Chain A
Amino acid sequence: MEAEPVLQLSMQQALNRALDEILADNPKTVIFGEDCGRLGGVFRITDGLQAKHGEERVFDTPLAESAILGMSVGLAMAGFHPIPEVQFDGFAYPAINQIVCQIARMNYRSRGTLPMPITLRVPSFGGIRAPEHHGESLEALFAHVPGLKVVSPSSPHDAYHLLKYAATRPDPVIFMEPKSRYWQKGPVDVRTAAPGQALQDQALPDAGMDDGGRLTGARVAREGRHLTLVAWGAMVARCLQVAELASEDGIDVEVLDLRWLKPIDAEALAKSVGKTRRAVVVHEAPLTSGLGAEVAQLITQHCFQTLKAPVERVTGFDVPYPSGDLEDEYIPNIDRILFGIQRVLEYRRG
Chain B
Amino acid sequence: MTTKPVLGAVDEDAAPLTHEQLRELYSLMASVRHLDTAAVAWQRQGIIPGYAPQLGQEAAQVGSGYAVDRTRDFVFPTYREMGVARAMGLDMVGYMSTHKATWHGGMYNPLESRFAPIQAVVAGSVLHAVGWAHGQTLSGKPDGERGVAMTYFGDGASSQGDVHEAMNFAAVMKAPVVFFIQNNGWAISVPTERQVAGGSVAARAAGYGIPSLQVDGNDVVAVYEATRSAFAHCRAGNGPVVIEAMTYRRGPHSTADDPGRYRTLEEERLSAGEDPLERFKQRLLDDGIADDAFFALAQQRAQEEEEAIRGGIEALAPRPGAEMFSLVFQEPTPTLQSQATAWRKESEHV
Which stretch in A66-74, A177-185, A312-320 binds the other chain? A66-74
A80 interface contact, C-beta 8 A: yes
Q: A147 near B329 (CB under 8 angstroms)?
A: yes
CB distance from A255 to the nearest CB of B (A): 23
A266 interface contact, C-beta 8 A: yes
Q: B103 near A111 (CB under 8 angstroms)?
A: yes
Q: B328 near A147 (CB under 8 angstroms)?
A: yes
CB distance from A300 to the nearest CB of B (A): 16
Q: How far is the CA of A105 from the CA of B110 in the complex (A)?
A: 14
B166 interface contact, C-beta 8 A: yes
Contact count A vs B, C-beta below 8 Å: 144
Q: A171 near B330 (CB under 8 angstroms)?
A: yes
> In chain B, what residue has the closest Cβ to A59?
B173
Q: How far is the CA of A115 from the CA of B328 in the complex (A)?
A: 10
Q: B132 near A75 (CB under 8 angstroms)?
A: yes
Q: How far is the CA of A77 from the CA of B112 in the complex (A)?
A: 12
Q: A108 near B138 (CB under 8 angstroms)?
A: no
Q: A102 near B328 (CB under 8 angstroms)?
A: no
Q: A262 near B333 (CB under 8 angstroms)?
A: yes
Contacts of A70 in B (CB 8 A): 124, 126-128, 130-131, 162, 165-166
B121 interface contact, C-beta 8 A: yes
Q: Range of interface residues on chain A?
A: 35 or more
A97 interface contact, C-beta 8 A: yes
CB distance from A302 to the nearest CB of B (A): 12
Contacts of A72 in B (CB 8 A): 131
Chain B 45-82, CB-CB to A under 8 Å as 1, else 0, gives 00000000000000000000000000000101000000
B213 interface contact, C-beta 8 A: no
CB distance from B105 to the nearest CB of A (A): 3
Q: With A62-B168, A110-B105 known to touch, is A266 a contact of B334 (CB < 8 Å)?
A: yes
- B:116-156 near A, CB below 8 Å: 116-117, 119, 121, 124-136, 138-139, 149
Q: With A67-B166, A110-B105, A113-B109 known to touch, is A101 a contact of B124 (CB < 8 Å)?
A: yes
Contact of B128 among A74, A79, A80, A264 (CB under 8 A): A74
Contacts of A74 in B (CB 8 A): 76, 127-135, 149
Q: A264 near B328 (CB under 8 angstroms)?
A: no
B161 interface contact, C-beta 8 A: yes
Contacts of B333 in A (CB 8 A): 149, 262-263
A348 interface contact, C-beta 8 A: no
Q: How far is the CA of A347 from the CA of B25 in the complex (A)?
A: 78
Q: A115 near B132 (CB under 8 angstroms)?
A: no
Contacts of B168 in A (CB 8 A): 62, 64, 67
A26 interface contact, C-beta 8 A: no
Q: A78 near B105 (CB under 8 angstroms)?
A: no
Chain A 263-284, CB-CB to B under 8 Å as 1, else 0, gives 1101000000000000000000
Q: B135 near A79 (CB under 8 angstroms)?
A: yes
Residues in chain B within 8 A of chain A (CB atoms): 74, 76, 103-105, 107, 109-111, 116-117, 119, 121, 124-136, 138-139, 149, 161-162, 165-166, 168-169, 172, 323, 327-331, 333-336
Residues in chain A within 8 A of chain B (CB atoms): 30, 56, 61-62, 64, 66-67, 69-80, 82, 97-98, 101-102, 105-115, 146-147, 149, 169-171, 262-264, 266
